[in-house]
A and B are shown apart, each in its own frame.
Chain A
Amino acid sequence: MYSILLRSGTVLASLLLSFSVQAAAPTLVVYSYDSFTSDWGPGPQVKKAFEANCECTLELVGLSDGVAMLNRLRLEGANSRADILLGIDTNLTAEARASGLFDTHGISLESSALPNPWQDDLFLPYDFGYFAFIYNKEKLHNPPTSLRQLVEDADGPTLLIQDPRTSTPGLGLVLWMKKVFGEQTDQAWAKLAPRIVTVSKGWSEAYGLFLKGEADMVLSYTTSPAYHLIAEQDARFAAARFAEGHYQQIEVAGLVRSSRQKPLARKFLEFMISDEFQKIIPTTNWMYPAIAGNEVLPAEFSQLIDPSPALLLDEALVASERKSWVDEWLEVMSR
């Protein structure tokens, strides 16, 4: 009980404190996922760089993932403290759009690095990546060269994937399969199922199991080998290049409609697509920066596979079909 009392005291104190701080300099509140805001993500560097010029405080709030952020914002409605939501991907933008909680950003994205032109007045991309199966070159000598080969070869490599109900890459694979196999996706899943060692809750568990040698390949990003190259000087890991192309994930930010400091929020969005912010992304979020430019990408990224053509399904289609596709996956995988 004592700690609760103590805490209430702190609550009061911090309320008073926050009033006095607000009077001095505005606080911009950004909701993001916690691997963005954590000490190892882009968060701390982004905060430092933005605060150097904004005469404001940047408060990064870490939530578990994009879905959690959007749900949180929907629950809070107009009362939300958030000015910016940073970290949902294009599989969620249709829902976010329909929520009516976002305002136009009014910023044009010049020199975009995205494979397709970006047209969206509510959401602005800050990075992107491609899903891929990662393998250890010393252990797997002939990785499949297409998604079709991976599916068809009954003696092919064993896999670790994530659950589409709880994980972004997991959902990404469901969409990738749909894009490549269309009507025959359920049969493709059935062929793949015997070689799936396990389906994990999140990316971390699957990747951790892969590093422990539990399967030949793990579902991750084409950029994952860059981490091992840059941070560990370890060149054993590679992404398997698939001939059909790789499904894309584009991460975006949006301006919250109820924000009371839209000019400052727009300033942050401008900053988000500037070189300064973009340079932080590749080696902290391990994704491709959203704007083009040689300076922003470390040299090691040139050793990564070329994922083209980039595959992406229309956001409205994903929004309307996501549930039935995941149910289809669930049905096949539960047999």
Chain B
Amino acid sequence: MNIPRAIPASLVLALLALLVLAPMAGLLQLSALPGFEAADLRIWENAYLRRVVGFSLWQALLSTLLSVLPAILVARAFALQPGLPLRRMLLGLFALPLVVPAVVAVMAVVSVYGSDGWLPLGRKLYGLNGILLAHVFFNLPLAVRLLLPQWHAIPQSHWLLAEQLGMNHWQRFRFVEWPQLREALPGVLLLVFMLCLTSFAVVLTLGGGPRSTTLEVAIYQSLRFDFDPAKAVVLALLQLALCMLVAIFTLKLQRMPEVEIAAATPWAGKSKAAQWFNLALILAATLYVGMPLLSLLIDALRGPLLRVMFDTGLWLAFGNTLLIGISAAVLAASAGWFLLAYSAELAQRGHSAAARLVDLAASSVYVVPPLVIATGMFVLLSPRVDVFDWVYPVVISINALMGLPFVIRCLGPAMRQNHARYHRLCLSLDLRGWNRFRHLDWPLLRRPLGLAIALVAALAMGDLGVIALFGSTRSATLALLIYQQLGAYLVAQATVTALLLLALCLGVFVLLEHLIGGSADAAA
């Protein structure tokens, strides 16, 4: 097969494989040394682990359904209310939960639903309830953001036709909206599933005890507590395999796009009742997402705002956070672009299985725990270089890796549609390379690209994991600072720092989405 775009995509895929597999090989190699021997690796005979796997999958499945199904309704409500006041701000708000460091999110959720909270659930909060509440808080808004563009991709003629045929709401959803939704929905389900599968601090803190242990916790335990690298790798591979199975099943449901696309305003319809219903949905979702954030804001405003703000360490961390976020986002977006261009080309030529495989490879790297990759990288790097000088490259590349699935989800549907529609035209005009990017792809894809870059940047800025592992004197980030403050009884300061991190993420998010996505339409 001589398919253009195969070379850069293969390079990216090779790089991905290297980033994931080389650290694992490093860890396995380590287990051959004295002091690091593997204990019993027959993990499938271990009743505890079987239960852990069962629980991981169960809570991830429930969390996914509870996040994504309501998100369909909420996204639809947003789509059908293009003139809603503060719409852009509300959608900005919906990007925030994802970047709240887990420990802060847990505290915010407890502020709302805890014993002394606004809607007290008492002890019932701890257990599956708490896990689901927190996961829906994280993922419902994300799913809304990812699904919303689908409504704007429905051609105007479809809405008109539905109107002329006198379709009712259900029929319109079934025949006009659903076919379009199906292009993105399986991918979003998969992404949210992966996020919930690998959830760690939320599950451990709100789960009520080791009854709620996920595979991610077991991996952490084997690497940290038992220091058994081989077992950690085996468990990480198990998690990867489980995720791949789910992914293959989910992505099979994905419909590859038809040749028609449009950038239209969804038809809101004239029914007042439907409008009120949509507004009520938006209000409910905003309250659900906004309450924990509001509690955080109130706590932070009561805190020592000025003392925290005038700390130089804070601004250094601020700079580091920004550097890591933007670099990771640009890296992830470039890698994602090459992969998607190739996958779109494959799909266009009818190799949809191969196209899905590229998609699958790029998405499932997310479930390899960063702890495993980072420790493996450390094993490989430390005999050769001074790892302190490599903190940034490592942190940025791991964050880019973790951001890649988000790029695939944001950009994938639009890019495939674009390719399907304009590829032949480009061939006939001999529009290639930079010119094609400049005149065709950029104007049409900048909006999803902006969302992708903004999401990954925000996500990387909220990440704690990797930087804490490598540790250094000069590389604090805001997320790390929050943990350090919490570890020093400074709950109030930590809340202020968290607010600042949120403000930074929101600022970067809105700015990037605006700069890259353009301001043409306040839609999505």
**A residues with CB within 8 A of B:** 1-4, 7-8, 11, 14-15, 34-35, 37-41, 59-64, 67-68, 71-72, 74-76, 79, 81, 99, 158, 163, 165-166, 193, 196-205, 207-209, 211-214, 224, 227-228, 231, 286, 323, 326, 329-331, 333-335
Question: Is A212 a contact of B205 with CB atoms below 8 Å?
Answer: no
Q: How many residues in B have their beta carbons less than 8 Å from beta carbons of A?
A: 70
CB-CB under 8 A for A71 and B227, given A76-B382, A208-B107, A214-B114: yes
B428 within 8 A of A: no
Question: Is B468 a contact of A7 with CB atoms below 8 Å?
Answer: no
Shortest distance between the CB of A297 and any CB in chain B (Å): 18
Question: Is B103 a contact of A75 with CB atoms below 8 Å?
Answer: no
Question: Is A193 a contact of B487 with CB atoms below 8 Å?
Answer: no
Residue of chain A at shortest CB distance from B117: A212
Residue of chain B at shortest CB distance from A202: B487
CB-CB under 8 A for A227 and B489, given A4-B327, A64-B471, A212-B107: yes
Contacts of A40 in B (CB 8 A): 484-485, 488, 490
Q: For window 463-521 of chain B, which residues contact chain A by CB distance below 8 Å?
A: 468-469, 471-473, 476, 480-481, 483-491
Q: Is the interface of B mostly helix, strand, loop or mixed?
A: helix
CB-CB under 8 A for A197 and B488, given A37-B473, A208-B103: no
Shortest distance between the CB of A265 and any CB in chain B (Å): 18
Shortest distance between the CB of A84 and any CB in chain B (Å): 14
Question: Is A38 a contact of B484 with CB atoms below 8 Å?
Answer: yes
Contacts of A204 in B (CB 8 A): 103, 483, 486-487
Residue of chain A at shortest CB distance from B327: A3
B311 within 8 A of A: yes
Contacts of A34 in B (CB 8 A): 468, 471, 480, 483-484, 487
Contacts of A63 in B (CB 8 A): 471
Residue of chain B at shortest CB distance from A59: B473
For the complex, what is the distance from the CA of A28 to the CA of B220, rounded to whole Å?
Answer: 31
Question: Is B471 a contact of A334 with CB atoms below 8 Å?
Answer: no
Question: Is A197 a contact of B473 with CB atoms below 8 Å?
Answer: no
Residue of chain B at shortest CB distance from A44: B313
Encode contact with A along B181-211: 1 for CB under 8 Å, 0 otherwise. Answer: 0000000000000000000110011111111
Contacts of A200 in B (CB 8 A): 204-205
For the complex, what is the distance from the CA of A198 to the CA of B311, rounded to whole Å?
Answer: 34
For the A-B complex, the count of residue pairs with Cβ-Cβ distances under 8 Å equals 174
Encode contact with A along B14-56: 1 for CB under 8 Å, 0 otherwise. Answer: 0000000000000000100001100000000000100100000
Question: Is A15 a contact of B389 with CB atoms below 8 Å?
Answer: yes
For the complex, what is the distance from the CA of A71 to the CA of B490, rounded to whole Å?
Answer: 28
Partner of A41, one of B103, B220, B480, B488: B488
Residue of chain B at shortest CB distance from A70: B227
Residue of chain B at shortest CB distance from A213: B116
Shortest distance between the CB of B453 and any CB in chain A (Å): 14
CB-CB under 8 A for A1 and B207, given A40-B490, A74-B35: no
Question: Is A62 a contact of B473 with CB atoms below 8 Å?
Answer: yes
B396 within 8 A of A: yes
Question: Is A166 a contact of B204 with CB atoms below 8 Å?
Answer: yes
Contacts of B396 in A (CB 8 A): 3-4
Question: Is B491 a contact of A208 with CB atoms below 8 Å?
Answer: yes
Residue of chain B at shortest CB distance from A231: B489
Contacts of A214 in B (CB 8 A): 110, 114-115
Contacts of B208 in A (CB 8 A): 196-199
